[in-house]
């Protein structure tokens, strides 16, 4: 006993490493893409255009549809033969991947699906962050002749950095706990290509009733996420700018 559960996981369990690899691949792809997409949408929706409340609501809506209904919708979108995604790809002359049946395409499919949440909470947080930037900064920059890109680079990005940091930290934590959609849509398949880490904890605990192994898995997850978060806080000193910080 003692550390036996941990030793076995590290040395004898290929599924442990598989789950870790799947989750890492998903995190590396979905977190940066998701943050970039959310920021782009927030900036799009921060304009003074007629009907902006309607546009904001339309982008936010996927986050309001319960996950059961959402999973049904996405199975329909990813259907290899008559799903809407492959109809579009087919019409554009591109291939028709077997999204949820081909191990190669499973993680990309989940990443695409995760982008449908880019108009949700993360976008709202960016939108709130954009509000907090004094408009006098942009006015001063315009007087100095700064173009749109350099305003974005030198005002928007640094002023948003506390919020971006928040979204990054929470994005990583969330991606390591990704569970519901993988459970509902593919249940880890095909050939364990979507065996997310949280799904493997769930299986060991509630399907195989190996509570010791499941607890060991949970503690390893906790240690990994804590280490990444601490590293992010360390690195944040170099790129996150707080106007009200005591120096």
Partner 1 sequence: MLILGAAAYSTPLIWTICTSLKTNEEIAHEPNRLLPHRVTLENFPAAWHALPFVNYVVNTLFVTLCCTLATVFSAALVAYGFARFKFRGRNTLFFLMLATMMLPSQVTMIPVFLLWKQVHAIDTYLPLTVPSLFGGAFNIFLLRQFFMGIPRELDEAMLLDGCGYFGIWRRLILPLSTPALIAVVLFTFIGSWDNFEGPLIYLSNPDNYTLSIGLDLFHDQYSTNQGQLMAATLVHIVPMLALFLVAQKFFIRGANLSGLGGR
- 65 is a contact residue toward partner 1 (CB under 8 A): yes
Q: Which is nearer to partner 1, 28 or 68 (CB)?
A: 68
- CA 73 – CA 136 distance, rounded (Å): 44
- CA 185 – CA 94 distance, rounded (Å): 24
- Judged by CB under 8 A, the chain residues 18 through 37 that form the site for partner 1 are none
Contact by Cβ (8 Å): 45, 55: yes
In angstroms, what CA-CA distances link 121 with 133, 161, 170?
A: 19, 17, 11
Q: Which is nearer to partner 1, 76 or 191 (CB)?
A: 76
- 3 is a contact residue toward partner 1 (CB under 8 A): no
- 49 is a contact residue toward partner 1 (CB under 8 A): yes
The structure tokens listed for 230 are 């601490």
Query: Residue 136: which region, alpha, beta or left (left: phi > 0; alpha: psi -120 to 50)?
Result: alpha
Q: Which is nearer to partner 1, 94 or 103 (CB)?
A: 94
Which residue from 21, 103, 230, 235 is in contact with partner 1, where contact means CB under 8 A? Answer: 230
CB of 26 to partner 1, least distance (A): 15
Q: Would you tell me the crossing angle of helices 121-131 and 157-176 to the nearest 10 degrees? A: 160
Question: What stretches of 30-126 adopt beta strand conformation (E)?
Answer: none
Which residue from 15, 33, 35, 73 is in contact with partner 1, where contact means CB under 8 A? Answer: 73
Q: Of 182, 202, 201, which is closest to residue 192 (Cα–Cα)?
A: 182
Q: Which is nearer to partner 1, 11 or 135 (CB)?
A: 135
Contact by Cβ (8 Å): 171, 122: yes
- 169 is a contact residue toward partner 1 (CB under 8 A): yes
Site residues for partner 1 per CB under 8 A: 41, 44-46, 48-49, 53, 55-66, 68-70, 73, 76-77, 82, 84, 116, 119, 121, 124-125, 127-132, 134-136, 159, 162-163, 165-166, 169-170, 173, 177, 179, 198, 201-202, 205, 214-215, 218, 221-222, 225-226, 229-230, 242-246
């Amino acid at each position: 006993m003692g550390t036996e559960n941990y030793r076995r996981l590290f040395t004898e369990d290929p599924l442990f490493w598989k789950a870790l690899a799947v989750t890492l691949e998903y995190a590396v792809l979905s977190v940066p893409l998701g943050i970039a997409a959310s920021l782009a949408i927030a900036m799009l929706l921060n304009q003074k255009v007629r009907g902006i409340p309607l546009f904001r609501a339309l982008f936010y809506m996927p986050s309001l549809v319960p996950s059961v209904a959402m999973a049904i919708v996405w199975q329909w979108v990813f259907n290899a033969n008559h799903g809407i995604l492959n109809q579009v790809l087919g019409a554009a002359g591109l291939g028709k991947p077997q999204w949820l049946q081909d191990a190669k395409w499973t993680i990309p499919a989940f990443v695409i699906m995760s982008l449908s949440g880019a108009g949700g909470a993360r976008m709202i947080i960016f939108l709130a962050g954009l509000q907090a930037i004094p408009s006098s900064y942009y006015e001063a920059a315009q007087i100095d002749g700064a173009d749109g890109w350099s305003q974005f680079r030198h005002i928007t990005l640094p002023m948003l950095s506390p919020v971006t940091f928040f979204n990054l930290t929470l994005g990583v934590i969330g991606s390591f706990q990704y569970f519901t959609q993988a459970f509902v849509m593919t249940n880890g398949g095909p050939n364990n290509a979507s065996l997310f880490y949280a799904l493997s904890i769930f299986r060991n605990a509630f399907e195989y009733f190996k509570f010791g192994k499941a607890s060991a898995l949970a503690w390893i997850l906790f240690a990994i996420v804590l280490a990444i978060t601490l590293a992010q806080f360390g690195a944040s000193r170099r790129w996150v700018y707080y106007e009200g910080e005591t120096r």
